Amino acid sequence: MWKSPRTVMPEEFDTTLVYTVQDVMTNVGGTAASIKFRTEAYDVDPALASTAMPGFAEFAAFYARYRTLALGYQFDCANQEAFSVTLLHGYTNSSIASGSLPITYAGNPLFGTSIVGPATGSNTARFRNMKTVCQISGTAQPLYDDLFTGSTTSATLATAGTCYCNLGVISNAALTALGVLVTARISLRIRFYRPLALIV
């Protein structure tokens, strides 16, 4: 006699989820501003509350836990200021205070920089990268340690197990409200696991 399986999904399922948002990166009167995103798929954008990756809630109906394997970004930037600025982008394994990303981070091998011209010149740039959480954190722990796993029903990923991608602007002149227009496309490679029992 045929019996239906206890679960409708495999024990583990790997997929890539994508979150896209547009923002103006500025700090009026200051000379630095930044934005960041994290490997917490339940709340990927710390600047907003409860910004789950599109598709995450659908997988949460089948799985209780997830582990982020890789973090990718594509930042499309357009300087709207009347002067040139330096853009800084890359990864950290700890959170940087909102609004600032010091130029000293350019010494980190997971970072890059670029100078873009004023709004009337060569004012656009695109930055793309993807790194595994192991590369960002500098350890193989993300593959097996529960510190790097989260619940699909709440923002429970431990701070010590969270990695970040960052984009910053640094200027010699005070930024205005115009700032740098950014379209951020964040990709998380996620492994869902611990399938939920199918209730019939």
Rounded to the nearest integer, the mean pLDDT of the chain is 92
CB atoms within 10 A of CB 121: 12
What tens digit of pLDDT does each residue of 104-142 get?
898 899 999 999 999 998 999 999 999 999 999 999 999
- Report whether 28 contacts 175 (CB < 8 A): yes
What tens digit of pLDDT does each residue of 41-50 get?
999 998 876 6
pLDDT at 28 (0 to 100)? 94
Distance CA 40, CA 26 (A): 24
- Domains observed in the chain: 15-194 (2.60.120.20)
Spell out a b/e string for 35-73, using b for 16 or more CB atoms within 10 Å of the CB, else e: bbbbbbbbbbbbeeeebbbeebeebbebbebbbbbbbbb
pLDDT at 9 (0 to 100)? 80
- Report whether 38 contacts 162 (CB < 8 A): yes
What tens digit of pLDDT does each residue of 134-184 get?
999 999 999 999 999 999 998 889 999 999 999 999 999 999 999 999 999
